[in-house]
Amino acid sequence: MAGTTLTLTPDGFRGRVLGKYEVLCRLSTGGMAEIFLAAQKGLAGFRKMVVLKQILPDIRGEEEFVRMFLDEAKVTAAFNHPHIAHVYDLDVADGELFLAMEFVPGATLVEVARACRTAHEPIPIGFSLMAVRDTAVALNYAHAFTDPLGRPSPVVHRDVAEKNIMVTYEGVTKLLDFGIAKSLARAGRTAVGMVKGTSGYMSPEQIMGDPLDARSDLFSLGVVLHECLTGMRLFYAKSAEAMMNAVLSGDVPPPSRVNKQVPPELDAIVLKALAKRREDRYGTTLEFARAIERAVGPRIWHPEQSSELMLRLFSERRDQTRLLLMSGTGDGSSSETQVAQVLARSVEAPEPVPPAPTGLPQISS
Protein backbone atom coordinates (compact mmCIF):
# COMPACT_ATOMS: atom_id res chain seq x y z
CA MET A 1 0.00 0.00 0.00
CA ALA A 2 1.39 3.39 -0.95
CA GLY A 3 2.85 5.37 1.89
CA THR A 4 3.02 2.46 4.30
CA THR A 5 6.44 0.99 3.52
CA LEU A 6 9.86 1.64 4.94
CA THR A 7 12.88 2.47 2.83
CA LEU A 8 15.45 -0.25 3.42
CA THR A 9 18.24 1.23 1.34
CA PRO A 10 21.35 1.38 3.53
CA ASP A 11 22.13 4.97 4.48
CA GLY A 12 25.19 6.74 5.73
CA PHE A 13 24.13 6.25 9.34
CA ARG A 14 24.22 2.46 9.35
CA GLY A 15 26.93 1.08 11.59
CA ARG A 16 27.33 4.32 13.51
CA VAL A 17 27.93 3.65 17.20
CA LEU A 18 26.47 5.78 19.98
CA GLY A 19 27.59 4.45 23.34
CA LYS A 20 26.41 0.85 23.58
CA TYR A 21 24.04 1.17 20.61
CA GLU A 22 24.67 0.46 16.92
CA VAL A 23 22.54 2.41 14.41
CA LEU A 24 20.65 0.48 11.72
CA CYS A 25 19.11 3.44 9.92
CA ARG A 26 17.64 6.89 10.37
CA LEU A 27 13.85 6.74 10.75
CA SER A 28 12.87 10.40 10.61
CA THR A 29 13.88 14.00 11.15
CA GLY A 30 11.76 16.56 12.99
CA GLY A 31 12.05 20.21 13.89
CA MET A 32 14.32 19.55 16.86
CA ALA A 33 15.67 16.01 16.64
CA GLU A 34 16.45 13.11 14.36
CA ILE A 35 15.35 9.56 15.16
CA PHE A 36 17.36 6.39 14.56
CA LEU A 37 16.59 2.69 14.82
CA ALA A 38 19.41 0.99 16.69
CA ALA A 39 20.37 -2.23 18.41
CA GLN A 40 21.86 -2.77 21.83
CA LYS A 41 23.94 -5.94 21.69
CA GLY A 42 25.39 -8.02 24.48
CA LEU A 43 26.67 -11.44 25.40
CA ALA A 44 25.14 -14.71 24.18
CA GLY A 45 23.26 -13.06 21.34
CA PHE A 46 21.49 -10.56 23.63
CA ARG A 47 19.90 -7.94 21.42
CA LYS A 48 17.41 -5.19 22.16
CA MET A 49 15.97 -2.90 19.53
CA VAL A 50 15.66 0.74 20.58
CA VAL A 51 14.98 4.13 19.08
CA LEU A 52 17.65 6.78 19.55
CA LYS A 53 16.71 10.44 19.59
CA GLN A 54 19.39 13.05 19.01
CA ILE A 55 19.27 16.84 18.71
CA LEU A 56 19.76 18.04 15.12
CA PRO A 57 23.36 19.08 14.40
CA ASP A 58 22.53 22.70 13.56
CA ILE A 59 20.84 23.39 16.92
CA ARG A 60 22.97 21.33 19.31
CA GLY A 61 24.60 24.47 20.63
CA GLU A 62 21.33 26.24 21.43
CA GLU A 63 20.64 26.16 25.15
CA GLU A 64 16.83 26.16 24.84
CA PHE A 65 16.76 22.98 22.72
CA VAL A 66 19.31 21.22 24.93
CA ARG A 67 17.21 22.13 27.96
CA MET A 68 14.04 20.76 26.32
CA PHE A 69 15.90 17.56 25.45
CA LEU A 70 17.10 17.10 29.01
CA ASP A 71 13.64 17.93 30.35
CA GLU A 72 12.14 15.16 28.20
CA ALA A 73 14.53 12.65 29.76
CA LYS A 74 13.88 13.89 33.28
CA VAL A 75 10.12 14.02 32.83
CA THR A 76 9.68 10.54 31.34
CA ALA A 77 12.52 8.49 32.83
CA ALA A 78 10.41 7.31 35.77
CA PHE A 79 7.25 6.67 33.75
CA ASN A 80 6.09 3.06 33.64
CA HIS A 81 2.78 2.74 31.83
CA PRO A 82 1.67 0.28 29.12
CA HIS A 83 0.39 3.06 26.87
CA ILE A 84 3.44 5.35 27.11
CA ALA A 85 6.62 4.62 25.15
CA HIS A 86 9.40 3.99 27.66
CA VAL A 87 12.63 5.98 27.94
CA TYR A 88 15.57 3.70 28.77
CA ASP A 89 18.67 5.84 28.76
CA LEU A 90 20.16 9.33 28.51
CA ASP A 91 23.79 9.35 27.52
CA VAL A 92 26.48 11.26 25.68
CA ALA A 93 28.80 9.92 23.00
CA ASP A 94 31.54 11.98 21.35
CA GLY A 95 30.07 15.04 22.99
CA GLU A 96 26.57 14.40 21.59
CA LEU A 97 23.50 13.86 23.81
CA PHE A 98 21.03 11.12 22.91
CA LEU A 99 17.98 9.39 24.35
CA ALA A 100 17.36 5.66 24.03
CA MET A 101 13.66 4.86 23.91
CA GLU A 102 11.29 1.96 23.33
CA PHE A 103 11.04 0.80 19.71
CA VAL A 104 7.32 0.73 18.86
CA PRO A 105 6.64 -1.28 15.67
CA GLY A 106 3.41 0.08 14.26
CA ALA A 107 2.01 3.30 12.81
CA THR A 108 0.85 6.69 14.02
CA LEU A 109 -2.75 7.77 13.73
CA VAL A 110 -1.64 10.09 10.91
CA GLU A 111 -0.40 7.07 8.99
CA VAL A 112 -3.51 5.05 9.81
CA ALA A 113 -5.69 7.87 8.46
CA ARG A 114 -3.58 8.07 5.30
CA ALA A 115 -3.72 4.30 4.78
CA CYS A 116 -7.50 4.22 5.26
CA ARG A 117 -7.90 7.09 2.82
CA THR A 118 -5.78 5.25 0.26
CA ALA A 119 -7.94 2.16 0.78
CA HIS A 120 -11.09 4.31 0.32
CA GLU A 121 -12.44 3.40 3.73
CA PRO A 122 -13.07 5.40 6.92
CA ILE A 123 -11.13 4.87 10.11
CA PRO A 124 -13.30 2.39 12.03
CA ILE A 125 -15.05 4.11 14.94
CA GLY A 126 -14.16 1.29 17.33
CA PHE A 127 -10.49 1.66 16.47
CA SER A 128 -10.59 5.42 17.06
CA LEU A 129 -12.39 4.99 20.38
CA MET A 130 -9.81 2.45 21.57
CA ALA A 131 -6.83 4.61 20.62
CA VAL A 132 -8.27 7.77 22.21
CA ARG A 133 -9.52 6.00 25.35
CA ASP A 134 -6.12 4.40 25.91
CA THR A 135 -4.34 7.71 25.28
CA ALA A 136 -6.63 9.42 27.79
CA VAL A 137 -5.70 6.84 30.42
CA ALA A 138 -2.00 7.31 29.64
CA LEU A 139 -2.31 11.08 29.92
CA ASN A 140 -4.06 10.76 33.27
CA TYR A 141 -1.09 8.72 34.49
CA ALA A 142 1.23 11.60 33.51
CA HIS A 143 -1.10 14.25 34.93
CA ALA A 144 -1.30 12.46 38.29
CA PHE A 145 2.27 11.16 38.31
CA THR A 146 4.03 10.64 41.63
CA ASP A 147 7.76 9.95 41.55
CA PRO A 148 9.37 6.90 43.24
CA LEU A 149 9.99 8.98 46.37
CA GLY A 150 6.28 9.71 46.70
CA ARG A 151 6.49 13.33 45.55
CA PRO A 152 3.66 14.56 43.27
CA SER A 153 5.19 15.38 39.86
CA PRO A 154 2.29 16.02 37.44
CA VAL A 155 3.25 16.43 33.79
CA VAL A 156 1.33 18.11 30.95
CA HIS A 157 2.22 16.69 27.52
CA ARG A 158 1.38 19.88 25.53
CA ASP A 159 1.68 18.22 22.10
CA VAL A 160 -1.12 15.65 21.92
CA ALA A 161 -1.85 15.04 18.24
CA GLU A 162 -2.26 12.12 15.83
CA LYS A 163 1.45 12.24 15.00
CA ASN A 164 2.30 11.40 18.62
CA ILE A 165 -0.11 8.49 19.07
CA MET A 166 0.89 5.10 17.69
CA VAL A 167 -0.87 1.77 17.48
CA THR A 168 1.34 -1.31 17.30
CA TYR A 169 0.83 -4.27 15.00
CA GLU A 170 -0.54 -6.05 18.10
CA GLY A 171 -3.20 -3.36 18.52
CA VAL A 172 -1.65 -1.61 21.53
CA THR A 173 -1.83 2.20 21.81
CA LYS A 174 1.36 4.10 22.66
CA LEU A 175 1.65 7.80 23.50
CA LEU A 176 4.93 9.26 22.22
CA ASP A 177 7.13 12.32 22.40
CA PHE A 178 7.10 14.24 25.65
CA GLY A 179 9.64 16.55 24.00
CA ILE A 180 7.85 19.75 25.03
CA ALA A 181 6.11 18.30 28.08
CA LYS A 182 6.13 20.46 31.16
CA SER A 183 6.43 19.29 34.72
CA LEU A 184 4.03 21.49 36.66
CA ALA A 185 6.66 21.68 39.40
CA ARG A 186 8.84 23.63 36.92
CA ALA A 187 6.04 25.30 34.98
CA GLY A 188 7.51 28.79 35.18
CA ARG A 189 10.46 28.06 32.96
CA THR A 190 8.86 28.72 29.53
CA ALA A 191 9.53 32.23 28.33
CA VAL A 192 6.65 34.69 28.25
CA GLY A 193 5.01 34.81 24.82
CA MET A 194 6.56 31.50 23.71
CA VAL A 195 3.84 29.16 22.40
CA LYS A 196 4.83 25.52 21.93
CA GLY A 197 2.62 22.86 20.42
CA THR A 198 1.14 21.73 17.11
CA SER A 199 -1.02 24.24 15.28
CA GLY A 200 -4.65 23.14 15.21
CA TYR A 201 -4.33 21.00 18.34
CA MET A 202 -3.37 23.53 21.01
CA SER A 203 -6.03 24.49 23.54
CA PRO A 204 -7.26 28.09 23.74
CA GLU A 205 -5.33 28.62 26.98
CA GLN A 206 -2.18 27.19 25.39
CA ILE A 207 -2.51 29.63 22.48
CA MET A 208 -2.98 32.51 24.91
CA GLY A 209 0.10 31.52 26.90
CA ASP A 210 -1.86 30.89 30.10
CA PRO A 211 -0.74 28.36 32.73
CA LEU A 212 -1.71 24.85 31.64
CA ASP A 213 -3.17 21.85 33.40
CA ALA A 214 -4.56 18.45 32.42
CA ARG A 215 -7.56 20.02 30.70
CA SER A 216 -5.32 21.47 27.99
CA ASP A 217 -4.21 17.97 26.94
CA LEU A 218 -7.87 16.93 27.13
CA PHE A 219 -8.81 19.58 24.57
CA SER A 220 -6.03 18.38 22.23
CA LEU A 221 -7.20 14.79 22.59
CA GLY A 222 -10.74 15.96 21.84
CA VAL A 223 -9.43 17.37 18.55
CA VAL A 224 -7.83 14.00 17.80
CA LEU A 225 -11.07 12.12 18.44
CA HIS A 226 -13.14 14.56 16.36
CA GLU A 227 -10.72 14.20 13.44
CA CYS A 228 -10.58 10.41 13.68
CA LEU A 229 -14.37 10.22 13.67
CA THR A 230 -14.77 12.57 10.70
CA GLY A 231 -11.58 11.92 8.74
CA MET A 232 -11.13 15.68 8.41
CA ARG A 233 -9.08 18.38 10.10
CA LEU A 234 -11.15 20.21 12.70
CA PHE A 235 -9.22 23.50 12.78
CA TYR A 236 -7.60 24.24 9.45
CA ALA A 237 -6.41 27.49 7.89
CA LYS A 238 -3.62 28.61 5.60
CA SER A 239 -1.84 30.66 8.25
CA ALA A 240 -0.94 29.89 11.86
CA GLU A 241 -2.72 33.06 13.00
CA ALA A 242 -5.95 32.08 11.24
CA MET A 243 -5.66 28.58 12.72
CA MET A 244 -5.35 30.02 16.23
CA ASN A 245 -8.34 32.29 15.66
CA ALA A 246 -10.38 29.28 14.57
CA VAL A 247 -9.54 27.52 17.84
CA LEU A 248 -10.29 30.60 19.93
CA SER A 249 -13.56 31.66 18.32
CA GLY A 250 -14.69 29.15 15.70
CA ASP A 251 -17.71 26.90 16.13
CA VAL A 252 -17.10 23.17 16.60
CA PRO A 253 -19.60 21.06 14.65
CA PRO A 254 -20.62 17.70 16.10
CA PRO A 255 -18.79 14.80 14.43
CA SER A 256 -22.12 13.30 13.34
CA ARG A 257 -22.56 16.18 10.90
CA VAL A 258 -19.90 14.46 8.77
CA ASN A 259 -20.14 10.87 10.01
CA LYS A 260 -23.74 9.72 10.50
CA GLN A 261 -22.51 6.62 12.35
CA VAL A 262 -21.56 8.76 15.37
CA PRO A 263 -24.32 8.53 18.01
CA PRO A 264 -25.61 11.65 19.86
CA GLU A 265 -24.04 10.58 23.15
CA LEU A 266 -20.59 10.47 21.55
CA ASP A 267 -21.20 13.86 19.94
CA ALA A 268 -21.87 15.28 23.41
CA ILE A 269 -18.67 13.81 24.84
CA VAL A 270 -16.52 15.21 22.04
CA LEU A 271 -18.07 18.68 22.26
CA LYS A 272 -17.59 18.80 26.04
CA ALA A 273 -13.91 17.93 25.63
CA LEU A 274 -13.63 20.76 23.09
CA ALA A 275 -15.28 23.48 25.19
CA LYS A 276 -13.50 26.83 24.85
CA ARG A 277 -13.49 27.37 28.62
CA ARG A 278 -11.51 24.71 30.44
CA GLU A 279 -14.01 24.86 33.29
CA ASP A 280 -16.65 23.47 30.92
CA ARG A 281 -14.58 20.40 29.96
CA TYR A 282 -14.12 17.16 31.87
CA GLY A 283 -11.94 17.66 34.93
CA THR A 284 -9.48 14.94 33.94
CA THR A 285 -8.67 12.79 30.93
CA LEU A 286 -9.68 9.78 33.03
CA GLU A 287 -13.21 11.24 33.35
CA PHE A 288 -13.18 11.63 29.56
CA ALA A 289 -12.12 7.98 29.11
CA ARG A 290 -14.79 6.71 31.49
CA ALA A 291 -17.46 8.83 29.78
CA ILE A 292 -16.56 7.17 26.46
CA GLU A 293 -16.76 3.73 28.06
CA ARG A 294 -20.15 4.42 29.62
CA ALA A 295 -21.65 5.88 26.46
CA VAL A 296 -20.28 3.59 23.74
CA GLY A 297 -18.36 0.89 25.59
CA PRO A 298 -19.51 -2.04 23.40
CA ARG A 299 -18.26 -0.20 20.29
CA ILE A 300 -14.69 0.17 21.58
CA TRP A 301 -12.44 -2.30 19.80
CA HIS A 302 -10.26 -4.78 21.61
CA PRO A 303 -6.53 -4.92 20.75
CA GLU A 304 -7.11 -8.08 18.68
CA GLN A 305 -9.52 -6.22 16.40
CA SER A 306 -7.15 -3.28 16.04
CA SER A 307 -4.31 -5.69 15.30
CA GLU A 308 -6.29 -7.17 12.40
CA LEU A 309 -6.74 -3.70 10.91
CA MET A 310 -3.07 -2.76 11.40
CA LEU A 311 -1.83 -5.98 9.81
CA ARG A 312 -4.17 -5.53 6.86
CA LEU A 313 -3.20 -1.91 6.26
CA PHE A 314 0.51 -2.27 7.00
CA SER A 315 1.41 -5.86 6.11
CA GLU A 316 4.11 -4.83 3.64
CA ARG A 317 5.54 -2.31 6.05
CA ARG A 318 5.63 -4.87 8.86
CA ASP A 319 7.44 -7.37 6.61
CA GLN A 320 9.98 -4.74 5.58
CA THR A 321 10.50 -3.79 9.22
CA ARG A 322 11.28 -7.41 9.98
CA LEU A 323 13.79 -7.53 7.13
CA LEU A 324 15.43 -4.41 8.49
CA LEU A 325 15.65 -5.94 11.96
CA MET A 326 17.06 -9.18 10.56
CA SER A 327 19.71 -7.23 8.67
CA GLY A 328 20.95 -5.90 11.99
CA THR A 329 21.28 -9.35 13.53
CA GLY A 330 24.90 -10.29 13.95
CA ASP A 331 26.50 -13.64 14.61
CA GLY A 332 26.22 -14.26 18.33
CA SER A 333 28.54 -17.31 18.33
CA SER A 334 31.54 -15.36 19.62
CA SER A 335 29.70 -13.91 22.59
CA GLU A 336 28.06 -17.28 23.30
CA THR A 337 31.53 -18.83 23.45
CA GLN A 338 32.60 -16.15 25.92
CA VAL A 339 29.61 -16.92 28.14
CA ALA A 340 30.36 -20.65 27.97
CA GLN A 341 33.91 -19.94 29.08
CA VAL A 342 32.68 -17.84 32.00
CA LEU A 343 30.26 -20.60 33.03
CA ALA A 344 33.03 -23.19 32.77
CA ARG A 345 35.33 -21.13 34.98
CA SER A 346 32.56 -20.71 37.55
CA VAL A 347 32.07 -24.49 37.69
CA GLU A 348 35.78 -25.18 38.02
CA ALA A 349 36.45 -22.51 40.63
CA PRO A 350 36.59 -23.59 44.28
CA GLU A 351 33.63 -22.65 46.41
CA PRO A 352 34.44 -19.35 48.14
CA VAL A 353 34.36 -18.98 51.89
CA PRO A 354 31.23 -16.99 52.79
CA PRO A 355 32.07 -13.58 54.25
CA ALA A 356 31.20 -12.75 57.81
CA PRO A 357 27.82 -10.95 58.12
CA THR A 358 28.17 -7.19 58.34
CA GLY A 359 24.65 -6.39 59.47
CA LEU A 360 24.28 -3.82 56.62
CA PRO A 361 21.08 -3.93 54.98
CA GLN A 362 13.62 3.67 30.28
CA ILE A 363 -4.14 12.88 9.90
CA SER A 364 -0.98 14.76 8.98
CA SER A 365 0.53 17.38 11.14
> What is the per-residue pLDDT for 116?
96
Question: What is the value of pTM for the model shown?
Answer: 0.84
Residue range 248-262, pLDDT digits in tens: 999 999 999 999 999
Is residue 336 domain-resident? no
Kindly report, residue by residue over 140-197, the tens digit of the pLDDT: 999 999 988 898 999 999 999 999 999 999 999 999 988 666 665 554 434 334 457 8
Of 179-188, 275-284, 356-365, which gets the smallest average pLDDT?
356-365
- pLDDT beyond 90 at 112: yes
174 and 240 part of one domain? yes
Number of structural domains the chain divides into = 2
In a domain, residue 230? The reply is yes
Asked whether residue 322 is assigned to any structural domain, the reply reads no
For residues 98 and 147, state if they share a domain.
no
Query: 121 by DSSP, 3-state: which?
Result: coil
**pLDDT (mean) for 275-288:** 98
> Residue 82 sits in a domain of what CATH number?
3.30.200.20
**Which helix (DSSP H) or strand (DSSP E) does residue 168 occupy?**
strand 165-168
Instruction: Identify whether residues 172 and 287 lie together within a single domain.
Output: yes
Average pLDDT over residues 16-22: 89
Residues annotated as catalytic (active site), given as ranges:
159
93: buried, middle or exposed (CB in 10 Å: 19+, 13-18, 0-12)? middle
Q: Residue 114 sits in a domain of what CATH number?
A: 1.10.510.10
C-alpha 311 chain-centroid distance: 20
Structural contact between residues 235 and 264, judged by C-beta atoms closer than 8 angstroms: no
Question: Above 50 in pLDDT, residue 129?
Answer: yes
**The pLDDT of residue 347 is above 60:** no
340 found inside a domain: no
Whether the pLDDT of residue 61 is over 80: the answer is: no
Range of the domain at 97: 17-103
Say which DSSP state 178 is in.
-
In a domain, 341, yes or no: no
Work out the widest C-alpha separation in the chain, in whole angstroms.
79
Cα–Cα distance between 119 and 45 in angstroms, integer? 40
Report pLDDT for 180: 65
